[in-house]
Amino acid sequence: MFKKYHIPTESAPSKKRIGKFLVERDLDYCINCGDCIKACLYDVHKRRQEDVRIMAEPDSYKCKGCFRCVIECPQGALSLHDNPEFFKLGDSYYIPKMIKTIWNEAENGRVPVSGAGYRGNFSGPRFDGIWTDMSEIVRPTRDGIHGREYISTAVDLGRRLPYLKFDSNKNVEGVPPNIEIPIPILFNPPPHELNDKTLQLIVANVATKLGTYAIIDADDYQELCNYNVIPRFSSDSNLNLELVKRAKIVEVDYRRNLMEDLRLLKDSHSDILVSIRIALKRGLEPLIMDLTKRGAEIFHLYADYQGNEFEQKPRFITDSLRSVDDYIVDYCLREQITIIASGGIGAAEHVPKTIACGASVVGIDIAYLIALEIGQFDTHIQRFPPIEVTDMDLEWGTQRIINLMNSWRDQLLEVLGAMGMREVRRLQGETGRMIFYVDEEKELYDLVGL
């Protein structure tokens, strides 16, 4: 019987209560009238529990910057300022606004809404230079979360048949192994510096509850093999066939003897899916085509944590994926393989944009670390400062990431509904449903002769 996919959310309050604004109350002017309580929709203002006649200090963490309380205060006792601690968060890519959004999504699992509307730029570098085509947004039956039509976010991992071939008994021949997951998101292993058992358990637990998978180092697989995990064999680790007998999927870094490893894995476990992990660089297309023709089924193409290729003059992940997608479409290979893309996926909107540029599934890493409020990071992930996560609350951490995924899925549903799509599979490689600022700018300049 059909069962609609549902992600259970619960409140998981933030432990780092750092907001963008500081709301200050001047006690010399405040008359404790409580008008600010009525004015604020976000519960910033309250009365003191010990004496309800007096106003408590504003809870600035919840403030959205709408200025309504400031405007409606009859005494002019309230003022709003930027919080300097907020602007110290993150780095040049994971900017404070992105971190704050992830915190809010992880706290309640809802789609974030600003009380003051959108006040940012309408274009910019990387993902900000891609706009989604919302031409079907007026159709009420496809209104994402609230619509009457079910929109599927399920995707397949593995090779797909280009055509069906039947035997004498009318059964389909040569069906390759294939696994369906309900959301197009996998979890990458945490950075080496944070490779803590508690953190691994949280991510594995989340993947299992959501029905997707978490990638972990093969050395840690034995302890987590009861969860939905994918053991990863790095380029300098030996293939352990005994280790993966219970695995449905394994990931192997691209290496010299890769095809021999694939043959050994398939011989020992015929139904196992193998993902080949390859660093994004220029000129990957012929390699992907060659490996596909030799039986490869899943490619995990990864960029650095800011979404850049591993080159001296790197392209962004979306440009790399478009190049790969164009190539494999020309050779009629896209529908036969799964492309996992990771690196720089730090916001809900990045998921549909990455898929539209050619990915089947995205892998996230830094985003769930931010949801868990783990430390601060520098401009390179290799210098991610190690912190103590052993004592992290398992239930709190699990719920934070689950909430984040519910918020991201709801936003994906909104995008798909506005595009008139009923399943995320149709979005793969659909660059025609995206508007690229660079392309539009070039077309405009050509028209006006600049």
Which class is 142-441 in CATH?
alpha beta
Tokens 């006006």, residue?
448
The per-residue pLDDT for 316 is 95
Numbered ranges of CATH 3.30.70.20 in the chain: 21-82
Coil vs helix vs strand at 208: helix
pLDDT of residue 106: 95
Span(s) in the chain for CATH 3.20.20.70: 142-441
How far apart CA 398 and CA 366 sit, in angstroms, is: 15
Q: For residues 160 and 177, what is the distance between their CA atoms, to the nearest angstrom?
A: 9
**Helix (H) or strand (E) run with residue 295 in it:** none
Token reading at 172: 């389909």
Rounded Cα gap, residues 8 and 62, in angstroms? 23
The DSSP secondary structure of 28-93, one letter per residue, reads TT-----HHHHH-SS----B-SS-TTSBPPP-GGG--S--HHHHH-TT--EEEEE-TTGGGSS-SS
Q: What tokens were used for 263?
A: 């043959």
Q: Are strands 155-157 and 179-181 parallel, antiparallel or unpaired?
A: antiparallel
pLDDT for position 379: 42
User: Tokens for 120?
Assistant: 């940012």
Encode pLDDT of 332-347 as tens digits.
888 889 999 999 999 9
Distance CA 57, CA 26 (A): 10
Q: What pLDDT was estimated at residue 380? A: 43
Distance CA 60, CA 23 (A): 5
Which residue from 277, 331, 321, 279 is spatially nearest to 299, judged by alpha carbons? 277
Look up residue 69 and give its two tokens.
């309380």
Structure tokens at 199: 């953190």
Residue 137: half-sphere exposure toward Cβ, Cα within 13 Å: 6
Query: What residues in the chain have per-residue pLDDT under 70?
Result: 1-2, 114-120, 137-148, 375-390
Question: From the CA atom positions of the chain, what is the Rg in Å?
Answer: 24
Q: For strand 214-217 and strand 229-233, is the pairing parallel, antiparallel, or unpaired?
A: parallel
pLDDT at 356: 95
The CA-CA-CA angle for residues 151, 323, 128, to 5°, reads 60
Q: What is the pLDDT of residue 87?
A: 87
Reduced to 3 states (helix: H, G, I; strand: E, B; else coil), residue 145 is coil
- Residue 384: Cβ-neighbour burial (10 angstroms; 0-12, 13-18, 19+): buried
Q: Which helix (H) or strand (E) holds 199?
A: helix 197-210
Closest CA to 151 of 161, 139, 160, 163: 139
The pLDDT tens digits of the residues spanning 420-429 come to: 888 999 999 9
Q: Packing angle between helix 197-210 and helix 394-419, nearest 10 degrees?
A: 40
CATH class of 21-82: alpha beta
Strand, helix or coil for residue 181: strand
pTM of the entire structure? Answer: 0.90
For residues 238 and 218, give the distance between their C-alpha atoms in angstroms, rounded to a whole number: 10
Q: What is the pLDDT of residue 139?
A: 60
Angle between helices 317-330 and 285-293 (to 10 degrees): 50
pLDDT score of 325: 94
Rounded to 5 degrees, what are φ and ψ at 368?
A: -75, -25
